[in-house]
Chains A and B, each alone.
Chain A
Amino acid sequence: MAHVATPSKKFWTPANIITAIILVIGLVLTVKRFSMGIGAVSNLSDDNPWGIWIGFDLLCGVALAAGGYTTTAAVYLFGMKKYHSAVRPAITTAFLGYAFVVFALLYDLGRYYRLPYPLTIYPGPTSFLFEVGLCVALYLTVLAIEFSPFLWEVLGWAKIRHLVHKLTLALTIFGVILSTLHQSSLGGLYLIAPSKLHPLWYSIYLPLFFFLSSIPAGLSMVILEGTLSHKYLNHKMDEEHHHGFSPVVLGFSKAASVVLFAYFCMKWIGVAMDNNWSHLGTGWGLWFLVEVLGFVLLPCILYAVAAREKNERVAFYASIMTVAGIILNRLNVSIIAFNWRLPAEARYFPSLEEFLITVFIVTLEITVLRICLNKLPILHQHPQFRDAH
């Protein structure tokens, strides 16, 4: 992972060199993927049609980009003005996150050039995937509009920026609706496979689990990225961003703690609902406990501690654990506890090339993010447009 580096006169910093190497490898593999097929670069098989490109790039990518709707909702709908400084970075992260989810999807789709089909000529509304596609497409549009003012500001197109600004409330509400729907429908994707997903993870509440857990995921990403950019991009920040961040961390910690607790309780209701207690005594049960206690309850408590003791460092650790927990949960549902009955030799493990393509996409995203943070008014307000939101 490349760090967001301090700009210096020198271009070839170690971070940039690593980034460049990854990007070159990624491009080579991309050529291979699109000229020789999915099978040439991945371990996907007839038993395991979905691998880390879906399990990580799509499921985790979308969940971790949830900072967009949670932050905008907090600030614009629930009137938490003091978090205003978090809005611009959150929208940026979300927009890039979704853009790259769609980008990554092109690698996984057999006929990527038909991506618009379900939304245009052949809708299949009986499918949860249809809902995912529809909402992601719409939400990406919403995010693009929400993100556009940063460009207009740089270009100095005051009129159009003003127009977008007027739409803030509608966009926020629309964004929350769309996010609710597709965050949950990513979980809904797996409802159709009760015979393949381990009972501890399969539940009729899967959509609710995914939606609930996306909230702390988004909040944690805001905290995580904010903390990192404070460390490395201090000079880019204006007063508001600089001093407005502490309340954001502590406020978000409190919120994340509450939602994580609700999520924790729901997970157990899910186990009780299908009477899956007996599975807890197995190796799978142990793994489930690791996820639910170690990566839900523990960060929940850490967040509570951070909020109570006003300790931003603990909040930072909690955010790392939460993000790791979300990734673990999504990988469990999509890969680890999926097809759990298959014999060991038929189980899926990503190939090196598959993994490298994912690394490439993530690196590309971080690179674009770095460029955006450096060139656009994201960590500061544009001097011409000091808006009172």
Chain B
Amino acid sequence: MKRRTFIGILAGAGASLATGTAGAAGNHHFTGYPDSYGVLFDSTKCIGCRKCEAACNAVNELPKPELPFDDLSVLEKRRRTHHDTFTVVNKYEYNGKPVFRKIQCNHCQEPACASACFVGAFKKEPTGAVSYDASRCVGCRYCMIACPFEIPTYEYHDPITPRVRKCTMCQPRILEGKLPGCVEACPKGALVFGHRDELLQIARERIRKHPELYVNHIYGEQEMGGTNWLYISGVPFEILGMREDLGITPAPQLTTGALSVVPAVVGLWPMFLTGAYAITKRKEKIAAEERAHAVQKAVAEAEAEAAKKLAAALEKAEREKQAAIDREVKKALKEAEEARKKAEAASEGEE
């Protein structure tokens, strides 16, 4: 049984978790479902036309934005995903030339959001998508804290049923055999849909064939344990506003170590604390015994002292009595002697 399951049981969640769901957020390295899909974004081909944004908006039935999608003035500002915008294209400058990057959920192999969600609302699907189940969501927004790519967004203005919103990789469409909306709409082939391992091959091929065109790095191959959305680019990824310092540790591994201490604390603390209590108790007991002993000793000593005093007093009394008798006897003898002498003297005088 897994340690985490143990905690789950503690919560009264008796059922042990299916390996599938725990897989992508569990505490062993998960290398993705075989044959999972992904999308390869090639920044060298992107022209920043926002067709993907328009398609995403239509496919997900999101509210229409104020400015139409063919208004490219919005590219002058840095934008991010919002509850009504699952994908945005941003423009960056490199050597005076514009370069573009599309932002959307990267569909991590081991998603931080799924690991952070305490009701399991996020799930890594066999299709490669990271899905979200609004019927479980409590709305704590810890997924947004956890996501290293800052993707999930929230419906802050819905009082009763707010949802976390993010790109779904168009999983419903994939299951129907269609392409994700953005991929289908891209006029330049900057987005390629396919199996992730296939996409990695394509990306490597392009980099190998055109070393003068590409930076030798596939973003998403290793980042945060790997993502199903991959990027290749002709400029350093930092220029495209993509963090290159995220490391290759999958998010769930950031917390496994600390979480594994939990059962240990549950197991060990009672022992220590009961021990402490026992020591305290024992101390108290010893103290009480010592006290009783001391009292006894004191009483005994006091009694002995009293007895000694009595004996002495009695002796003294005895001695005084004896002395008085002696005195009286002596006195009587003396008187008798004197009387005898007197009598003798008197008798001599008569002669």
Given contacts A109-B139, A134-B11, whether A195 and B158 have CB atoms under 8 Å apart is no
Given contacts A46-B80, A46-B154, A125-B7, whether A111 and B161 have CB atoms under 8 Å apart is yes
Stretch at the interface among A34-42, A214-222, A363-371: A34-42
Contacts of B120 in A (CB 8 A): 122-124
**Quick check: B265 and A177 within 8 Å, CB to CB?**
yes
**Quick check: A34 and B159 within 8 Å, CB to CB?**
yes
Contacts of B8 in A (CB 8 A): 123, 125
Closest beta carbon of chain A to B155's beta carbon, Å: 8
**Quick check: A119 and B11 within 8 Å, CB to CB?**
yes
**Quick check: A123 and B157 within 8 Å, CB to CB?**
no
- Is B284's beta carbon under 8 Å from chain A? yes
Stretch at the interface among A75-83, A241-249, A305-313: A75-83
- Is A251's beta carbon under 8 Å from chain B? no
Contacts of A125 in B (CB 8 A): 4-5, 7-8, 11, 13, 17
Given contacts A126-B26, A194-B254, whether A111 and B141 have CB atoms under 8 Å apart is no
- Is B177's beta carbon under 8 Å from chain A? no
Stretch at the interface among A185-193, A295-303, A316-324: A185-193
Contacts of A35 in B (CB 8 A): 159
> Per a CB cutoff under 8 Å, which of B116, B266, B281 touches A127?
B116
Given contacts A38-B162, A181-B266, whether A47 and B118 have CB atoms under 8 Å apart is no
Given contacts A110-B137, A181-B266, A192-B251, whether A46 and B144 have CB atoms under 8 Å apart is yes
Contact with A along B1-39 (1 / 0, CB 8 A): 000110110111100010000100111000000000000
**Quick check: A110 and B117 within 8 Å, CB to CB?**
no
Q: Name which residue of chain B comes closest to A111, CB basis.
A: B139
- Is A287's beta carbon under 8 Å from chain B? no
* Chain A 161-195 interface residues, beta-carbon cutoff 8 Å to B: 169, 172-173, 176-177, 180-181, 184-185, 188-195
Bound complex: CA of A173 vs CA of B275, how far in Å?
Answer: 11
**Quick check: B259 and A79 within 8 Å, CB to CB?**
no
**Quick check: B82 and A46 within 8 Å, CB to CB?**
yes
- Is A282's beta carbon under 8 Å from chain B? no
- Is B339's beta carbon under 8 Å from chain A? no
- Is B94's beta carbon under 8 Å from chain A? no
Bound complex: CA of A45 vs CA of B153, how far in Å?
Answer: 8
Contacts of B25 in A (CB 8 A): 126
- Is B288's beta carbon under 8 Å from chain A? no
Bound complex: CA of A38 vs CA of B114, how far in Å?
Answer: 23
**Quick check: A195 and B148 within 8 Å, CB to CB?**
yes
**Quick check: B269 and A177 within 8 Å, CB to CB?**
yes
**Quick check: A191 and B255 within 8 Å, CB to CB?**
yes
> Per a CB cutoff under 8 Å, which of B10, B150, B276 touches A134?
B10
**Quick check: A127 and B148 within 8 Å, CB to CB?**
no
**Quick check: A39 and B22 within 8 Å, CB to CB?**
no
- Is A61's beta carbon under 8 Å from chain B? no
**Quick check: B270 and A173 within 8 Å, CB to CB?**
yes
> Per a CB cutoff under 8 Å, which of B26, B155, B251, B265 touches A181?
B265
Given contacts A79-B284, A123-B120, whether A191 and B115 have CB atoms under 8 Å apart is no
Contact with A along B132-160 (1 / 0, CB 8 A): 00001111111011101010111111111
Closest beta carbon of chain A to B68's beta carbon, Å: 23
**Quick check: A77 and B246 within 8 Å, CB to CB?**
no
Closest beta carbon of chain B to A344's beta carbon, Å: 13
- Is B201's beta carbon under 8 Å from chain A? no
Bound complex: CA of A123 vs CA of B235, how far in Å?
Answer: 43
Contacts of A189 in B (CB 8 A): 142, 145
Given contacts A47-B150, A118-B118, whether A76 and B252 have CB atoms under 8 Å apart is no
- Is A128's beta carbon under 8 Å from chain B? yes
Bound complex: CA of A50 vs CA of B146, how far in Å?
Answer: 11
Bound complex: CA of A111 vs CA of B140, how far in Å?
Answer: 8
- Is B64's beta carbon under 8 Å from chain A? no
- Is A207's beta carbon under 8 Å from chain B? yes
Closest beta carbon of chain A to B94's beta carbon, Å: 19
Bound complex: CA of A15 vs CA of B192, how far in Å?
Answer: 67
Contacts of B251 in A (CB 8 A): 192
> Per a CB cutoff under 8 Å, which of A114, A119, A128, A194 touches B259?
A128
> Per a CB cutoff under 8 Å, which of B243, B255, B276 touches A78?
B276
> Could you list 20 further interchain pairs (A-B, Cβ under 8 angstroms) beyond the known A110-B139, A196-B145?
A35-B159, A37-B155, A38-B157, A46-B81, A46-B83, A50-B145, A73-B273, A78-B276, A110-B162, A126-B22, A129-B118, A130-B11, A131-B259, A134-B7, A169-B277, A173-B269, A188-B255, A190-B145, A192-B145, A195-B243
16 sample A-B contacts, Cβ–Cβ < 8 Å, listed by A number: A42-B156, A46-B81, A73-B273, A79-B280, A110-B158, A111-B161, A112-B139, A123-B118, A123-B119, A125-B5, A126-B4, A126-B22, A176-B269, A189-B145, A193-B148, A195-B243
Residues of A within 8 A of B (CB): 33-40, 42, 44-47, 49-50, 73, 76-79, 108-112, 114-115, 117-120, 122-131, 133-134, 169, 172-173, 176-177, 180-181, 184-185, 188-196, 204, 206-207
Q: 8 closest A-B pairs (Cβ-Cβ)? A: A110-B139, A39-B156, A79-B280, A123-B13, A49-B141, A130-B118, A49-B144, A122-B119
